[in-house]
Amino acid sequence: MSGVKTLSEFIIERQDDFPFASGELTRLLNDIVIASKIVNREVNKAGLADILGATTQENIQGEIQQKLDVYADDQFIAALRNGGEACGIASEENDDFLAFESLRSREGKYILSFDPLDGSSNIDVNVSIGTIFSIYRRESEVGTLAKEADFLQKGENQVAAGYVIYGSSTMLVYTTGKGVNGFTLDPSIGEFCLSHPNMMIPKNGTIYSMNEGNMSYCSDAIKNYIAYCKEVDTETKRPYSARYIGSMVADFHRNMIKGGIFIYPETTKAVNGKLRLQYECNPMAFIMEQAGGIAHTGTQRIMEIQPTELHQRVPTIMGSSNMVEKLLSYY
């Protein structure tokens, strides 16, 4: 196809980035792409479910219409289980990780952690939502069942991470540690096409994204930084603009392109913040650092944290390097 590079072509082309790769990571990424297209189809018709009567029909068959985040969870699990390149999967929607039992999956070298639908409270109001994923090489022996330790690796060990944003258009953005590339879904041909090569976040920005409703529960560092954002200073283009969607993927994506800072800090009510280390913060931190930005908790680089439990939460600060450094100076 002249002038257009599809995601599948790009992934195969980049396979050589991994000297010892035998195509498994390529196939795993392709499984993720297929699942995300299926989820995209359902997200796009979310409001139609009742009108089309699908719920009633399915109930007659004994299958209750599932919530979209459970649907997305099922799609990704099915794609990876059938693909055979991953030996297990962990997701926000399941209490525990899932070890795939087939002989082929036990031979799989990788595990996947993911948030099937991020920002799902926004589904009902037609606001952008996303999917976040993170891939690690397993630590347990190939040929055995996946173990918890495979899912409790530091973010630094990620071999790939990405997100899909179901927005005014659908995009998939990912990294394998060699920069960040973004692909936009062309619905007419059903393919993600390279639209944002070598994405880099601007060093400076004028947008801050935080749920300021929580401000009374925040530390002085956060209070002082947000006060700084609101001060008037023409040289540093302040006051900054506040932009908060409430879908991390969408807030992150906007800031990646325009420059900005996303903050979900610790509060007196939630001492570790809200966002989950393994399937929200680490994958976004990997992308953010690969794009030249910073991902931090306020006291530690996110990807250096040794996870101790699957659904662990961490305070989250991500964005343009100069903005994050300024905030860190208040700690």
Sites for ligand AHG among residues 182-211 (CB under 6 A): 211
Q: Which of 242, 177, 201, 246 is nearest to 14 (CA)?
A: 177
Q: Is residue 278 a contact residue for ligand AHG (CB under 6 A)? A: no
Residue for token pair 């498994």? 24
Residues numbered 73 to 92 that lie near Mn ion (CB under 5 A) are: 92
92 makes contact with ligand AHG (CB under 6 A): yes
Closest C-alpha to 24, from 12, 35, 33, 34: 12
- Candidates 6, 26, 134, 247; binder of ligand AHG (CB under 6 A) is 247
Interior/surface letters 135-166, b for 16+ CB within 10 angstroms, e for the rest: bbebebeeeeebbeebbbbebeebbbbbbbbb
Q: How far is the CB of 248 from ligand AHG (least distance, A)?
A: 3
State how far the Cα of 83 lies from the Cα of 104, in Å rounded to an integer: 9
* Residue 248 binding ligand AHG, by CB under 6 A: yes
3-class SS at 70?
Answer: helix
Closest separation in Å from C-beta 320 to Mn ion: 22
Candidate ranges 8-16, 116-124, 146-154, 212-220; the one touching Mn ion (CB under 5 A): 116-124
Contact flags string 70-89 toward ligand AHG, x per CB under 6 A: --------------------
Alpha helices in 141-281 (DSSP H): 148-151, 220-230, 248-258
β pairing state of 158-166 and 170-175: antiparallel
**Position among 73, 118, 251, 289 found at the interface with Mn ion (CB under 5 A):** 118
Q: Which residue lies nearer to ligand AHG by CB, 7 or 161?
A: 161
Let me know the angle formed at the C-alpha of 258 by 256 and 262, rounded to the nearest 5 degrees: 55
**Tokens 């944290």, residue?**
305
Binding-site string for ligand AHG from residue 98 to residue 137, where x marks contact by CB under 6 A and - marks none: -----------------x--xxxx----------------
Residue 267's SS3 state is: strand
At closest approach, how far in Å is the CB of 92 from Mn ion? 5
Q: Which is nearer to Mn ion, 117 or 180 (CB)?
A: 117
Q: How far is CA 236 from CA 165, 239, 271, in A?
A: 30, 8, 32
Could you tell which of Mn ion, ligand AHG, none binds residue 247, using a CB distance below 5 to 8 A set by kind?
Answer: ligand AHG
Q: Which residues bind Mn ion (CB under 5 A)?
A: 92, 115, 117-118
Q: Which residues bind ligand AHG (CB under 6 A)?
A: 92, 115, 118-121, 211, 246-248, 264, 274
